[in-house]
Structures are given as structure tokens and as C-alpha cells.
Structure 1
Amino acid sequence: MASQHIEQKLALLPDLPGSYQMKDINGKIIYVGKAKNLKNRVRSYFKSEHTGKTAELVKNIADFDYIVTSSEKESLLLEVTLIQKYQPYYNIRLKRGTGYPYIKITNERDPQIMLASDVKKDGAHYFGPYPNVYAAEETVHFLQKVYPLRRCNGYQGRPCLYANMGQCLGACYREVPEAEYADQIKHIQSFLNGDTKAVVKQLQERMTTASENLEFERAADLRDQLKFIRATVEKQKIISNDGTPRDLINFYLDKGWLSVQVFFIRQSRLMKREKRVFAIVDDVGEELTTFILQFYNRKNAILPKELLVPANVDKKMIAEVLGIAVKTPQRGEKKALMDLAEKNAKIELDEKFRLMEMNEQKTSGAMQEIADALGIPEIHRIEAFDHSHTSGEEMVSAMVVFEDGVPNKKLYRKYKTKSVAHADERAETMEVIRRRYTRLLKENAELPDLVLMDGGEIQLNAAKEVIEDELGLDLPVAAMVKNDHHKTADLLKEEGSPHVHLDPKSQGFFLLQRIQDEVHRFAITFHRQLRSKNSLASKLDEISGVGPKTRQKLLTKYGSLKKIGNAPDDELKALGLSEKVIQNIKISLQARQD
């Protein structure tokens, strides 16, 4: 079953093509896939039954990410790039070099055109990769007919079969001029880079003629050839036409939030994407300029040769600081890449807003669920209390505040009991509740909609006695009751009344659990701090010449015996300590360490 986090993200997936990346609990990419429709494809992993390797993959997915592309073909090409980069565990077939092919023009005296499984540093010309393997094969066959190079094994003193058919320049029987090869290679490069108008027009005319002459098989062959050409050499925004290492940054702004996408393009391919979403208070151009400078000022940041940015940033300043070319594309392939980055930035920000909205709805619903269980019209603010002590000594209390299901840590409070010497939870509860709500009444401050006590009937009755009988407030009070395993179980409204049960799988129960865990954590943390401080104080009191004022100065500045013992004499003198007292402190603390 998918986690709540994944369920939320699944609900926000777009009906668009793209590449998705599955991650494990450590954030490592374990699978890369592509999709014509991201929403349908990614959801299928978690909404369908699987066996074997797919079931194992789904079991290990803790999160996922995705990059939207402009077409299904671009998602295929991006998939190849990401698999080669991240080497995901579950992409075995593609990882082992049996993935999408390239079209290669060899680097030799009599070059050939062929398919290659990967790119090597051999001086050859490479094009691709091509997701449609069959279309790539058919395109190579087409090019061998239209722009022939060498198809034979070399000189044999007579023309080979392909030379007789006009599909080989004739290295088999003559020395082909290098200029002749160069001219053919120029045509092939132009064709594979997308300049197919002349060839496509010629094929369309031949297909029409064949159809008019009732040569339907011939017309069908020509139609398929056109389809293969479009599948192989149509332009893609993900792949640039030159090898310049460049980064591309674009943004989307809405409701004071800035979503930024950074595309890293290397070897003419999108190799990596980073994203940031943050609130801004300044002009978007200034904020984005600052972000870019900070982004490349990080440790181990690698600068590209060219940076593409939107028009409203300070390109001159960025170029001067980073020492690279900074441009804003106006048209063509680079502009299309900028548009794609903006599209991804918008999707990322929309997803954040919708996740925030979903979480608000869930926490709001959880508050209402608790209200309904207790018979309260509505709840917006809850104040919860807990106590902590050590064998009845050093008693402290703490209060946490949840507003609309979210903790407001600015309103948290700590209490050192003044009138209770030993463990008396009733007396301690009454003191803390009295101090808290007497103060709110004096300040005419807002009261909570519900007071929760972490305990049982003793704490509940003590709180009610103060709130209802002493202060005369009509304020709902309930106790959070734990089970035998010290885990959140039920709510208690009145002494002797049945416990109020919440569905253990409901959002209201989860919220109650978070409140109880948070107030307990806050109380325990405060108690430990106080106990540690008192322990230090008692040890310092044992040192000759250290009185209450000196002890407080030392604790305030250093916080631990080790730091006090290692403090320079000059610093201790600056606190007003005499040389004799400093010597006593050093000797005493050194003896403790030994």
C-alpha cells in the first residue's frame, strides 16, 4: 500500500508526457521510466497488482520525481540519458548497453554509415540515441540509398553489388575522392539534424504518383519510409544541436512563491535537473539574480561555458561575477528549452500549492473530527499540557499550542512549579493551569477552544477545578489517555465516563498522537535542560571561591564543565574572576576529567 506522501503526489501528477524517477528510502534513484501520460503510468505502479521484479521495485519505492517533456519521444530520449547517468538498479537491460542505438558515420578513409550501440571517442560522427530501433534501421537503409558512402569491404578490383545498384560510391574498384565523401556526409548530417524538407517532398510526390498508378504496395512502402524519417530525425527540444556545455535557468512566480528550474545540458543532452521553490519578498529579477550567483558560489559547483537565463535578470552582473557567457534566447531551440523549463517550474509550484491545500484540508478535518468526538461545535486552537520530574524532584511542566492542526512553536511555554516541592500531579496541574489562564484573562488574550491534559482523571479533574470553579470559564477540557504500551489510545471528558474512542486510522487520531508526542517531548526536553543545568551548578558550587553570581556567569557563557575547564584565563578574567578562583576552577575540573 502506498504511503500518504506518495498518495498525495499521485493525485497531483499531470496528464503529460515525461520521464519519472523512482527513489528508495535514501533518496537514491532505483528506476527510471518514460511515459506518454505520467499520471496513468506512475499510478499504475501503486494501483495495480504486480509480481516478480516489478513487485520488488514497488516495495522499495519511497518517493518519486518526474520531468515533463514536450512529446513522448523526448521522454524516451530523456530516459536514456538519465539511465546512463544514474545507473539505476532496476534498469538492467538499458544499463548494460543494450539500449537505444545511435547512427554513426565512421572516421576512416572510406567511411560507412551504420548503427552503433554507444558513443565512443573514435572521431566518428554520432546522431541519436533513437528510441525507435526499427525506424533507425530503416532510416540508415534509406540514407545508404539516397546518400551512399561505402557498403563494401574495400578494394577488390571490380564493382560490388551495391555499387552496381548506386548504393556505394565504389571504393571496391576505384579511389573515391575525399571531397566526394565529404559532400555526401554534409548531406547526411543536414538530414539527421532535421533538414528533411527536400527529401520528404520528393518521397511524398513519388508516393502520390505510385498511388495514382495503382501501385499500392509501392505507395505503402513510401508512406512507411516517411513515417520512419519523422520518427528518427524530427527535432527534439531535449537535445541541442551543438556540444556546448550549458546550463539553463527559468522560473515561474505565483502568490509570492518562486519556482526555479535548472537544466544541465552536456554532450548535447539534458543530463540533470535541479529545482527550488521558495517565498520571495523582493523584485523577482533581483531575487533570481541573487539565487543564480549563490547557486554557482557553492562548494564544488561546476560552471558551464554558457548560461541561458530569462530576460529579467542582471545578465551583465552575472557574467562579470561568474566569468561565463550569459544569454537570453529569443527564438529557436534554446527558446523552446527555456519554455520547457518554465513549464516544469509551473508544474512544480502548482504541485506545492495543491499539497499545501490537501494538508490544510486534512488537518482541518482532523480538528473537526476531534471536535465531533467531544461534542464541541468546532476547534481551531488546542493547548496541551504535560509534566516531568525525577523521582518527585525538579518538577516542571510544559504547554504546546496547535492551531488548525499545525504546531505554533512561538506560543509554547515552560513552567517551573513554585508551590509544589514534591511529586503531586494534582497540585502541579492546578498551579500551571491557574498561572496560564489567569494571565490570559488579565491580558484579555484569546482563549483556546480545547485544553488537553496528558494524563488521566487526576490531571483532568485538577484542570477542570481551576478552569470551571476558580476562574468560571466555559472552556472544554479533556485528558489524553494512553494504553498499556504508553501509546495514545482515547480521550476522557469526565471522571467515570466512558472513554471517547477515535478510529486509529483516522486523521483525528494521528493529530491527537502528534499533540501528545509533542507536548511530552517538549516537557522532557525542558526537564533535561534544567536537570543538566542544576547538575552543573551543584558541581560548580563545590569549587572554592565560586558563588551564585560567578556560577551563573560561567553557565551562561559556557554551558558545560568541559568548556569552562578549557576556557582561556583572559576570558575568565574578563568575567571578573580573580586568578586564585581561576586556578581553583582549573585544578578542580582537571581533577574531575582525570
Structure 2
Amino acid sequence: MKPPVPAFDAKDFVRNLSTAPGVYRMIGADDSVLYVGKASALKNRVSSYFNNTPKSARIASMVSQIARIEVTVTRTEAEALILENELIKSLKPRYNVLLRDDKSYPYVLLTGEDYPRIAVHRGPRAVQGKYFGPYASVGAVRETLNLMHKLFKLRSCEDSVFRNRSRPCLQFQIGRCSAPCVDLISREEYTRSVRRASMMLEGRSDELTNELARGMEEASMNLDFEEAARLRDLVASIRTLQARQYVDGRAADLDVLAIAMQGANACVVLMAFRDGRNLGTRAFFPKTNGSDQPDEVLGAFVSQHYIDKTPPREIVLDRDIPDRDLLEQAFALSSERKVQIRCSVRGERAGYLDIARRNAQMALASEMTSASAQRARVESLRDLLGMDDVPGRIECFDISHTMGEATVASCVVFDVEGAVRGQYRRYNITGITPGDDYAAMHQAIHRRFRRSMEAREAALADERATPAARAKQASAAILPDVLLIDGGAGQVAQAKAVLDELGVEGVRVVGVAKGPERRPGDEDLLLPDGRCVHPGAQSPALQLVQQVRDEAHRFAITGHRGKRQKARTTSRLEDIPGIGPRRRAALLKHFGGLGGLKAAGVEEIARAEGVNAALAQRIYDTLHGLTPSEGAE
């Protein structure tokens, strides 16, 4: 039996605190981080939580759970602000307002290679490079990319194509690429084009045109009239674009934000303008964690949203927020230019604010309706399964393959608010008889739950782990309340066998079996107590199960198709005897890629350097799915 945790002595702790700026972390008895905050004077800020001033119910509840407080001193309050946001994003404290890390919005990506590629990007920022955005829609991104190709002629091709080109592609022919793949532009000149495109994407078009004008004059002085004419045309194009965009006096570099709240639910709408182009409107739904103050929620949103991206020169808000001056200083430091946050505007900006407010109210009403319906479905599933509380986490497994080829298992995750896409997982299934769905299901579930049990054991064994490490271990050790299995009694039996083998308790396994006619709404549910129920298409519980099952099916098929396609292209060439990495690269370069190689005949393949007739025949047969006996001798 563990000794009781001593009560937190706030007076003694505050007495030894510094008055320097910094960040404080309030930690509960279970080592979970309750709250992360910043302070211009740590002693004054932390002591305010423990004085006799009346506190809101949320703050009072938080203070009652504090077991200890950790602090980090910084040089300036701006540094404290940056550190605070990094810790909020990584630790996700229970009582902080949290901006959901929604990776679905598209960005413009400039990759970090010697000859950077410009492209649309969604999802985690795993690719090295510079990201610009987020944009409201893919349409807005494509419009931006079209502009970058016209003005700066940056490449858009994938690296596999870029490395194996032997002649310029159609993009060069129509004046949208400078063909760095075949050295028609020097690395220095291409790097200049990339830097100019970055300036344009950052909203620094005035600075860019001034630089180009100076370059034009310098080229003229050096009698390089061709280069001067090219820069002149580029300046003219940008000036024409600016003139068109400043019609009606629209601001060149501006974000407009408004917030709507209903209880503890919030919606922040952002309207973005860059270089006068309206990039559209998007809605965010931050987790308020009990906060019901719009200015506090909006302030947390502004801080977390812009802290790791370049802010515009002007941010217009529908209300004042805490630490507005401090945020301006921090944004100016990070972007190396003046950033103004305004909450009292007139004219066009007031009109934009009005539009943003109305959009925020409509988006919140729509989200609340959707959230209410989702809550009703979750509660219906709770009643169907006889649970005391609504399931906070639902996971579903599905298997996808084609006649046993490229078997992939998917695991999708839902909570009471809907899909949690950041926690989806795929498992490549190996070492089983092709087409054995039972063995595939057993392997996938074993791999998923073994990791959780190992993480739990590690968390219990490592008493000296830091709070951040414990939080990571706890995240890995999370178990679902309900485990949905897309399949009948056989697949369910495999799932139960794995849970019993690993000693997993408290997870309700539910099988989702298609009805005799295999129609949506005709599914049978195999419940944990052995019953088979037929809820019917009108059942909210079955509607939720269908939603989760269909998402698992979609996610599995997407992974399977990608794996199958890779196996049918890249690996085919790699597996041919006599084809090593160098010869494979030479072949792809000679034919301009795998498509060109597949389109070539045996005689044409044999004319490639280092390829004799027999090897050419093997290549042809392999790429066309022929056995040696079916190919020509």
C-alpha cells in the first residue's frame, strides 16, 4: 500500500519562488499535468491562485488537485509565451484551452532539397521544408501554386521523376518550369527563384518588387539586357497582380478572427487575406476544457495558432484579448517584422468582422447539432451494451486484401466527438497463409494490445520517469472501452483470445456481421454476453457502429491498395535477377520512368546500355506478368 501523498504546501512553495518571468506547470497526484501557464513574475502569478480572491469553479477545481508545481525561468516574457505554447501542445493539460491539431487543412510546401519542389501538402509535417498556410481549401492552394509556377517556374514533379528525367517535360514547354532536372538553370539561379517565391508566399511582394527592380537596373548597367527584360516582365506581372488585388482597397496581408460560444463550446472563424487574395474562411473548434470566457479562449487560440507559423502583418479580432501587447512582441520576434493585433476597426475591416461573426455563429450551431446527434448515438450504444457510462473510446479493426495479396489491417479510433484521425493505425500482415482472415485479425489485435500492456508495465516500473515521459507512456497504454470487429463469430473469437492471452480487462468486444442480404442497416451485432442482436437501420447505436466500421473499411482499403500498387511496380523491377540499384536507375532514366519501360518492347529494352537480349526478355516478362514460358524465347 502506497503512503498517502502529502498536501501541497502553497505558502512554502511561493515563498521560494523567483520574480523572474517564466512558465509554471501544475501537476496532480497521478503525475498528470493539470495546467501550463506563463508569467512576467512567477512569484506574483503563482501566488494569485492561492489567495482569498474568489475563483471560478474551473480554477477552484484545478487548485484542489495540485500535488506539486514545476517552474522554468526564462529571460523574457516573450520567451515564456513561446515555451508555454510548446508545452501546451505537447502535454495537452486538462485545464488549458486546447487548439485541436487538425491536420486536414492544406498547405503550400516548399521542400528542402537542392532543387526544392513546390506542392500542396496535407497531414503531419513529416517532409523537410517550409510550409505556408493553412489554406481554406485545396482550390485556394492550387490557385497559389498556379501563380508560383507562372512567375517563378518552380518544379512540381516528384523526386523519382526529377532524378530520372533525360529531357524537359511539358511543364517546361509551356513556360511553367525552368527544367532544373536537365540543368537548364543553374542551382544559384533556381535558389534565387525559390527565395523570391517564399517572399511572395509570405506576403512580402512590395519588398520583392523593390529587389527585382534593383536587379533589373544592375543587369542593365552590366549590359545584360536579356536578364533585365526578364526581371522587368516579372515586376510587371507582380505589379499587375497587386493592382488587381487592391481593387476596393482590400488589405494585402490580414487575418480576421471572430469567436462564438455556447456554454463551453466554442468556434473561431478565420478569414485570411495574403497579398490581397482572399484565401477563404475556415472554422476551428478549440477544446475549452471548462472555460466559458470568449476573450480567454480567443487569446489562447491566437497564441497557439500563430506561435509556430508566420503571422500576417495585421490580425483583426472581434474583441480584446489578454496579453495582446505581449503577443505582438512575440510574433514580431518570430517573424522579424512588425505584427499588429487590432480589436477596434472601422470601414472594410469592420465589414469583414461582421461576416466572420456570422460565420462563427452558423458554424457553431451546425457543430452543436452534429455533436448532439453524435452524443445521442454514443448514448444509444451505451444502452445497447449495458454500460454504466458512455464509451469514451471506440476502436474498430478491419482486414483488406486481394486474394490474399498485400494483406493490411486497419485500426480506427472514435471518441464521443467523432473520429480521432491522428490515432489511426495500419498493420502490414506477414507470416500467415494468404487469405487467412482469422490469423490476420489475431496478429493485428495482438500487436496493438501488446504495445499497450508493455507501456503500462513500463510506466509502473519507471518511477523516475519525467512527467512528459509518463504522459507519453500513458498515451500508449490507453485501452478502448469498446472494440468493434468487422466480422462474425470467428473474428470475434480471435479478438477475445488475444485479450485473454495478454490479460487485457475492461474492453467490450462487439462483432459486426453483415446480414443475409448484406444490405446496410441489416447488420447483426455479436455482443460480449454472447447474444446476437439485430438493432435495425433506425437504431442510433447501429448508425454509430456503421460509421466506425465504414471508416475502418475505407482506411484498410486505402492502405491495401497502396501496398499492392507498390508491390506491383517498384518491387517487380527490384526482384529481377541481374538488376541491381545502378542498372535499375539507368533503365528508369533511359526510358523516363517505369511507365516508359513498361511501354517498351523487348528489342527496345535490349538496346539500353548494359542489357542483353536474355535480360531484356526477363524484364519484359516480369513487368507484364508473364511466366518465362509465355514470353518469347
**Which bin holds the TM-score, normalised by the shorter protein?**
0.3 to 0.5
Greater C-alpha radius of gyration: 1
Length-normalised TM-score, structure 1:
0.41
Length-normalised TM-score, structure 2:
0.39
